[in-house]
Chain A
Amino acid sequence: MNLTFSQKEKLKNILFQVCVGLFCLVMLYPLLWMVSGSLKSSGNALSATLLPDAFRFQNYLEGWKGFGGVSFATFFRNSLFISGSATIGQIVLAAFSAFGFTRTRFIGQKFWFAIMIATVLVPMQILRIPQYIMFNNWGWVGSYLPVILPQMLPVPFFTFLMVQFIRGIPSELDEAAEIDGCSKFGTFFKIILPNLKPVLVTAGIFRFYWSWNDFMTPLLYLQNVTKYPVSIALKMFSDPNAVTNWGAMFAMTFLSILPTMIIFIFFQRYLIDGVSFSGLKG
């Protein structure tokens, strides 16, 4: 059978759609299964079928009640507070230090920059025990401080990303501003910061994700149920020995990833650009 070039292309396209589409379904199955499980009646919630036997939105109401008299409203508020502050702190600190590393000159600049990059190789888990001892001595255990403050410390990659970005902004702009009487701080806020927006968004989203999903730090430092973020609450709520209502468990699991998904849908370009950049310039 002789196919013309365009027919061949068409055939290839169909083959691609079928294979990639089917595999996509397999990939997304665990997530779809979770969503469908959140609607199934309790006895049926773990069955493999993706079509729920019922649409029990009640599962959500039941799950939302939480446990120990604390509802998921509290857990979500806590998570928002933790992730929100960590994100804002991170963005501000990363932008400040990136500006310091590019647009000012001071003794030891290269050295500190190298140190900053080198911290990428220190796995955070290594620091847990000494940090715990330190925060314990400071009397911080039980509060949000040890959870939030270390997360404000910019991830080296973001500072690096911003450094690269600032280098791309023509320095004539700075000079013009300085002639107009802008101080370094003025230049930073009026010239550089507005231009940094795309990188700030990328860094912000990733920080938000990591803080939102962070499990180990709150596990270590928070002792009071009313302070728990969603990640810890979900772990408790889903304890296999305690769960009786699987539908409600899936409902809360789904709600816990909803913020992540919504941000992804709106900002995926920023995420994908950020990740691509890390591989090419990192």
Chain B
Amino acid sequence: MNNKFEALDTVRSLDKGMDRKKWLKKNLVGYAFILPWLIGFLAFIAYPLLSSLYYSLTEYNIVGDPSWVGLKNYINIFTDDSKFWLSLKVTFYYVIFAVPLRLISALGLALLFRKARPFTNFYRAAYYVPSILGGSVAISVVWRQLFSSQGAFNDLLVALGIMQNRISWIGHPNYAIWTLIILAAWQFGSPMIIFLAGLKQIPKGLYEAAEIDGAGKIQQFFKVTLPLLTPVLFFNLIMQMVKMFMVFTQAYVITQGGPLNRTLMYAVYLFREGISFGHLGYGSALAWIILVLLTIVTVIIFKTSNKWVYYQSEGE
């Protein structure tokens, strides 16, 4: 709609013989306002994105110039890089557990906070706090100590008699990744707030109608709440997934990708290979692979969304 009006507007003003100068000025003023953004976008996003595509087709180490090698980096990654496959596996494992755990906690708490009771505002804020601390080094530092062999988590298990010997959870090949997953689940604050906002939009009348039809609380959840919440769920799913695919600080500080590379998240591997080792060309190829992969996963979720995301008809 707006497009049409705009086009009409432009045409009309041209028809009227609107002064070229005036027209030019109008455009210049518009561009003047978006110019700072435009420059930033071209310099810090567009150019790097395109140049990295070029670098990914070269052999380029931190000293020396890039030399064209065609698809060699990609072929090497796919056929001869066990760490690449391992880091993909680790990242998928992390995402597959961490995203649902975070979203389920978020939804569960949002449902509890839906009704105003004494202290709800306080609780809502308290549950949100871990989320604002996000990927800070501070939280990673606390987490590392919490699950270290001397840490509080062992104290608890020993006191409860579940374990006799303390182990280092972050140093254990099988459990280390779970300390990261628990950390991710712990930070469910922002999706919780979004779910809460979504819940508030569901008309009360629907529940009354459902109740009259004899639907119990559980049925009401599955037949009314959940379907009407799917657009919000969809949004949370995409946002959290993209975020967790690229998780860096936590893995870098808490486990450093170890033990035995069992927590080698893709972003950590990318950083290590591309920056720490200075393999700029190879690293760029790694970056493009995850970008394409992320896009594919996002598109798949988008494609399936019309099967499970319920959109209320736009007309009133």
Assess whether A3 is interfacial by the CB under 8 Å rule: no
Q: How far is the CB of A99 from chain B (nearest CB, A)?
A: 5
Q: How far is the CB of B303 from chain A (nearest CB, A)?
A: 16
Q: Are B246 and A123 in contact (CB under 8 A)?
A: yes
Assess whether A202 is interfacial by the CB under 8 Å rule: no
Q: How far is the CB of A128 from chain B (nearest CB, A)?
A: 7
> Which of B49-57, B72-80, B82-90, B203-211 is near enough to bind chain A?
B49-57
Interface residues in A232-268 by Cβ distance below 8 A to B read 232, 234-235, 238, 240, 246, 249-250, 253-254, 256-257, 260-261, 264, 268
Q: Are A27 and B118 in contact (CB under 8 A)?
A: no
Q: Are B126 and A125 in contact (CB under 8 A)?
A: no
B6, B153, B284: which contacts A105 (Cβ < 8 A)? B6
* Closest chain B residue, CB of each to CB of A127: B48
Report if A46-B198 is in contact (Cβ < 8 Å); known contacts: A16-B117, A134-B48: no
- 13 residue pairs from A and B, CB less than 8 Å apart: A13-B118, A27-B130, A28-B129, A30-B143, A126-B287, A128-B275, A129-B55, A129-B275, A130-B52, A213-B249, A264-B129, A271-B132, A279-B194
* Closest chain B residue, CB of each to CB of A27: B127
In the bound assembly, the distance between CA atoms of A126 and B40 in angstroms comes to 17
In the bound assembly, the distance between CA atoms of A123 and B245 in angstroms comes to 9
Q: How far is the CB of B156 from chain A (nearest CB, A)?
A: 6
Q: Are B197 and A110 in contact (CB under 8 A)?
A: no
Extra contacts, 12 of them, besides A105-B26, A122-B49, A133-B51 (Cβ < 8 A), are A27-B186, A30-B146, A96-B36, A97-B34, A105-B9, A106-B29, A115-B41, A119-B45, A125-B270, A215-B252, A268-B125, A282-B235
Q: Mark B128-167, 1 if CB is under 8 A from A, else 0.
A: 1110111111110111111010111101100100000000
Q: How far is the CB of A10 from chain B (nearest CB, A)?
A: 11
Q: How far is the CB of A116 from chain B (nearest CB, A)?
A: 7
Q: Tell me which residues across on chain A come within 8 A of B196, comparing CB atoms.
A: 276
Report the interface size for chain B: residues with CB under 8 A from the other chain: 97
Report the interface size for chain A: residues with CB under 8 A from the other chain: 90
Q: Are B280 and A28 in contact (CB under 8 A)?
A: no
> Which of A61-69, A151-159, A168-176, A193-201 is near enough to bind chain B?
A151-159
A27, A46, A94: which contacts B126 (Cβ < 8 A)? A27
Q: Are B248 and A216 in contact (CB under 8 A)?
A: yes
- Pick the most buried of B127, B145, B159, B249: most chain A CB atoms within 10 A of its CB: B145
Q: Mark B10-53, 1 if CB is under 8 A from A, else 0.
A: 10000000000000001111111110111011001101110110
* Closest chain B residue, CB of each to CB of A230: B137
Q: How far is the CB of A28 from chain B (nearest CB, A)?
A: 6
Q: Tell me which residues across on chain A come within 8 A of B153, comparing CB atoms.
A: 48
In the bound assembly, the distance between CA atoms of A106 and B124 in angstroms comes to 44
Report if A279-B123 is in contact (Cβ < 8 Å); known contacts: A34-B142, A127-B45, A129-B275: no
Report if A96-B33 is in contact (Cβ < 8 Å); known contacts: A246-B145, A257-B136, A257-B138: yes
Q: Tell me which residues across on chain B come within 8 A of A159, comparing CB atoms.
A: 37
In the bound assembly, the distance between CA atoms of A220 and B197 in angstroms comes to 38
Assess whether B294 is interfacial by the CB under 8 Å rule: yes
In the bound assembly, the distance between CA atoms of A110 and B129 in angstroms comes to 38
In the bound assembly, the distance between CA atoms of A213 and B288 in angstroms comes to 26
Assess whether B298 is interfacial by the CB under 8 Å rule: yes
Q: Are B135 and A215 in contact (CB under 8 A)?
A: yes
* Closest chain A residue, CB of each to CB of B52: A130
Q: Are B30 and A130 in contact (CB under 8 A)?
A: no
- Pick the most buried of B48, B190, B294: most chain A CB atoms within 10 A of its CB: B48
Assess whether B215 is interfacial by the CB under 8 Å rule: no
Assess whether A107 is interfacial by the CB under 8 Å rule: yes
